[in-house]
Structure 1
Amino acid sequence: MHILVTGGAGFIGSNLVEELLRDPRVTGVRVLDNLATGFAHNLKDFEADPRFEFLQGDIRDYETCLAACKGIDRISHQAALGSVPRSINDPLTTNAVNITGTLHIFTAARECGVQRVVYAASSSTYGDHPGLPKVEDAIGRPLSPYAVTKYVNELYARVYADVYGISFVGLRYFNVFGPRQDPNGAYAAVIPLFMKAVLDNVPPHVNGDGETSRDFTYVSNAVHANICALFTENTDALNQVYNIACGERTTLNELFETIKGIAGSDLAAIHGPERAGDVRHSLADISRARTLLGYDPKVTVREGLKEAFTWYRQHHNYSYSI
């Protein structure tokens, strides 16, 4: 199969491309990325592979999406503007990329006869629903523009499946972390920020009291979920959304203590105000993904943190984005 990975120069996307190029079922991997939040360095190791192709372009341009989808069998749509704070500061751009851009990919897939689209959904869709663990069919009201965009993606996927007969699989990621996740910039995620802090020996800032909890998920588990979704032959698994996580909850305080232990650091964090738009607690029920997709997360949070810290330490003195 010939696979298109949108956002393939990004953190999750580049890890997925690496795994796809190891898969004997894959005859070609095309990456579409505008390099706004991804990095050409992340694709450097794949350039010599004759099955690899890079197309620099923006999913907000429909003609670009059409060109990217030609000759493609299946799509893993990872391209998006992440970050709740970014969406609060700039809802227009977040909407243009995450909703209009995604609609472009879905429509181009239909026009080009693509069989299946796997797309990155988000645990932010659960919004203010208080239930734990999070179960796919019970969501609340969105708490940020970013959450709205990710929910709209799911709605469009459902409608396109019904109206146009395309198969979709939505993967609701829960706080994915690991190698190639950029710790720099205003919208960096918490784990790379903590990793950078202990390596720089600079106290990190923690939003609120640090008792906010998340279901942190190592990137290889998210890649595994994409592989399952792209290649499953279980028709009952299609046109569904799935929680992609480990099914365990870690507070920010516990997270920082674990990273300090791995690094041998005695830093103390600086606590500040709660962040607007944040969900207080998040924990996934992953039974649907296990049953229908065959998803089986192999890497625990602690094991993932060890792997990630090794990578950040190796890249500490130069570009994190290699």
Structure 2
Amino acid sequence: MAEAGGASIIVAVTFGRSSFVGRSVVAALLGDGRFTVRVIDPLPASDPTPSLSPFFQSGRVSYHHVDIRNRSPSFVTAFTDAEAVFHVDPTVTTLQAPPVRSSDFHGLHRLLVQGARNVIATCFECGVQRLVYVGSADVVIGGANEVCCWNESVVYPERFVDNLSELRAQAEAMILMANSKDGLSTCALRVSNPFGPGDNTLVPLLVQGAKEGWAKFIIGSGKNSWDFTYIENVAYASICADEALRLGTPYVAGKPFFITNQEPMMFWDFLSIMLEGLGYQRPSIHLPANFVLALAEVAKFFQEKLLSCKTSNPFVTASTIRSFTGTRTFDCSNAERVIGYSPVVSLEDGVTLTIASFSQLANGITDVNWHDLTKPSNAENLLGNERVADILLWRDDRRTFTCLLVLFLLHYWFLLSERTFISSAAKLLMLFALILFVYGILPSSMLGFSIEKTSLSSFEVHDLTLRMYFSTAASLWNQSICILGVVAKAEDWGVFFKVVGFISIFKLLFLFSIPAVSAAGLVGLFTFFIIYEQCEKEIENLIAAGSRGLDKMKRLLMAKLPCSVAKYVS
């Protein structure tokens, strides 16, 4: 009920203790000063949150031990005379780790759908005027991999990727459909990835992953953006929605609203900042998304078919891997325009406050020189060309697999087909000529599809390009002649041993068949650079250790050789 002048409004908040978002909504309502709050939660406690003790003593907050899955007399008592109810989805946490496993359909249905049904029925029975549902933006995603600036016009998907998202959508739809019935006004907040102090999911999981070693991997290109929402902004948006319902603002009742920090950022950058702020190494090793997805499917098969135990890591499921490699951003302008929401805490400040609140999980390492991801790696510098680096470092999966397939076909055509090189080249030229001939006689459009013709100028080679290639070849030839001259004059024994070693290795290669050497080179081409990039520090340490060992052996050898011989070796 509201006192004269609107000084006090009795509200009820579900999952005010066990839910990370619910605790924040309770704190925001009490901090606002206009509300008397009833905390409803299935966890029994007389003082659910130590920071709320002063409010308990003042009588502005009371606690009700109620299981929302079952309607009981205590349920009705908690809602009696309440003007507003904030129903918080207890599974809305970052990184999709609800307290109930997503495979437990019955448990999730009771918690989400049956819980929402009980809240609505009790609101009708007790004459509650306003119901604000704090839910998740995942209800509209479905199987979409790229969600870029979606707004409230997007409808629920026909198929969901998991039980959790589908049941969340059912609970939200039920609450929105209850609008305007028995004097109840409802709306829903679709929160995108809430985070902040008190979250028992995001930071603890990242720290666990950093300690176990898997948090150093980046799945995919690492350039996908997400919308994150600091928890204080979620609570503030809840108060804004309730105020808009109370004032009867048009286009609020019965409507959903996306809630974000309005500052999309790259998902892996967000995780990197969190880990680095706590003293752990930021993710730096890129893994192809399709490769990781295949591993996840294989792991799922072994866990379900061969093993009785289930993984407790929420990162290894196919749905989370797909979401981690896709874009997840939403348009929050409708909430800003209609209910007057705008973030009260910036994303940068929110991240800083979150890191500071988890100081007990910090690694304790303050002087760490991690690899700067803004600078190209040594492997990229070696490859030089950006397109070549994207292919050999598996940055572009489609282009890499295409190039690998073409090289494999050429390897088969020239080396494994048991034809001579001239015969294979002649057949390849005939095939290429046939393709060009068929392509040339095709009409400009066929079966409704337009066929773009390639001009002959596309096959021409520029004079500067040829000069550059011949200049490079001439430079390599001249360098070889200079090296041979140094060896012939016995001026540098180091160069002599390098030449002898290179010739010996080249001779050893001819002990194997050319197809085997070619296949090994092809495999090594697509594995060496990516291994070097991912283990750059370890490889450099091994090279440095080997170099120090060789220098030590050289000094020992020089000490034992006669002076007349040592001067030629030094």
Q: Scaled by the length of structure 2, what TM-score is found?
A: 0.50
Runs of 4+ aligned residues of structure 1 deviating over 4 Å after TM superposition are 39-42, 84-87, 195-198, 200-203, 267-274, 314-317
> Kindly tell me: are residues 205 and 71 of structure 1, through their superposed partners in 2, closer, same or farther at Cα, counting changes over 3 Å?
farther
Letter in 1 for 2:52: F
Q: 1:258-288 CA distances to partner (integer Å, 9 max, x unpaired)? A: 2244334435478654633344321010011
> Kindly tell me: are residues 172 and 192 of structure 1, through their superposed partners in 2, closer, same or farther at Cα, counting changes over 3 Å?
farther
Matches within 5 A, 1:223-238: 223-232=235-244, 233-236=247-250, 237-238=252-253
Question: What does residue 320 of structure 1 align with?
Answer: none
Q: CA deviation at 1:302?
A: 2.3
Residue 309 (1) aligns with residue 362 (2): no
Question: What does residue 160 of structure 1 align with?
Answer: 178
Letter in 2 for 1:222: V
> Kindly tell me: are residues 261 and 315 of structure 1, through their superposed partners in 2, closer, same or farther at Cα, counting changes over 3 Å?
closer
> Kindly tell me: are residues 245 and 131 of structure 1, through their superposed partners in 2, closer, same or farther at Cα, counting changes over 3 Å?
same
- Quick one: distance in 2 between partners of 1:155 and 1:90? 21
> Kindly tell me: are residues 151 and 266 of structure 1, through their superposed partners in 2, closer, same or farther at Cα, counting changes over 3 Å?
closer
- Quick one: distance in 2 between partners of 1:161 and 1:245? 24
Matches within 5 A, 1:250-261: 250-261=265-276
Residue 217 (1) aligns with residue 223 (2): no
8 A Cα contact 1:120 1:172, kept in partner: yes
Matches within 5 A, 1:82-93: 82=92, 83=96, 86-93=100-107
Q: Identify which of structures 1 and 2 has the higher relative contact order when contacts are C-alpha pairs closer than 8 Å and 6+ apart.
A: 1
> Kindly tell me: are residues 155 and 284 of structure 1, through their superposed partners in 2, closer, same or farther at Cα, counting changes over 3 Å?
same
- The share of aligned pairs that are identical, in percent, is 23
> Kindly tell me: are residues 166 and 205 of structure 1, through their superposed partners in 2, closer, same or farther at Cα, counting changes over 3 Å?
farther
Q: Scaled by the length of structure 1, what TM-score is found?
A: 0.84
8 A Cα contact 2:87 2:131, kept in partner: yes
Question: What does residue 149 of structure 1 align with?
Answer: 167
Letter in 1 for 2:50: K
Q: CA deviation at 1:52?
A: 1.0
Q: 1:194-215 CA distances to partner (integer Å, 9 max, x unpaired)? A: 25656x6965376843555421
Matches within 5 A, 1:1-322: 1-9=9-17, 10-26=19-35, 28-35=36-43, 43-49=49-55, 50-63=59-72, 64-82=74-92, 83=96, 86-127=100-141, 128-129=143-144, 130-139=146-155, 140-141=157-158, 142-182=160-200, 188-189=201-202, 191-194=203-206, 204=215, 208-209=219-220, 210=222, 213-232=225-244, 233-236=247-250, 237-268=252-283, 273=293, 275-278=317-320, 279=323, 280-314=326-360
Q: Which is further off, 11-20 or 141-150?
A: 141-150
- Quick one: distance in 2 between partners of 1:205 and 1:41? 40
Q: CA deviation at 1:218?
A: 0.6
Letter in 1 for 2:81: G
- Quick one: distance in 1 between partners of 2:199 and 2:147? 29
8 A Cα contact 2:218 2:268, kept in partner: no
Q: CA deviation at 1:98?
A: 0.4
Secondary structure, aligned partner of 1:204: helix
Q: CA deviation at 1:42?
A: 5.5
Secondary structure, aligned partner of 2:116: helix
- Computing the radius of gyration over CA atoms, which structure comes out larger, 1 or 2? 2
- Quick one: distance in 2 between partners of 1:25 and 1:145? 38
Give the root-mean-square deviation of aligned CA atoms: 2.8
More strand by share: 1
- Quick one: distance in 2 between partners of 1:251 and 1:275? 21
- Quick one: distance in 2 between partners of 1:104 and 1:12? 20
> Kindly tell me: are residues 62 and 218 of structure 1, through their superposed partners in 2, closer, same or farther at Cα, counting changes over 3 Å?
same
8 A Cα contact 1:247 1:283, kept in partner: no
8 A Cα contact 1:75 1:118, kept in partner: yes
Q: CA deviation at 1:179?
A: 0.9
Structure 1's unaligned 5+ residue stretches are: 183-187, 318-322
8 A Cα contact 1:125 1:148, kept in partner: yes
Structure 2's unaligned 5+ residue stretches are: 1-8, 294-315, 364-570
Q: Which is further off, 230-239 or 2-11?
A: 230-239
> Kindly tell me: are residues 206 and 220 of structure 1, through their superposed partners in 2, closer, same or farther at Cα, counting changes over 3 Å?
farther
How many residues get paired? 307
Letter in 2 for 1:218: Y
Q: 1:287-312 CA distances to partner (integer Å, 9 max, x unpaired)? A: 11000110001323222111001001
Secondary structure, aligned partner of 1:164: coil
Letter in 1 for 2:34: R
8 A Cα contact 1:246 1:284, kept in partner: no
Q: CA deviation at 1:48?
A: 3.6
More helix by share: 2
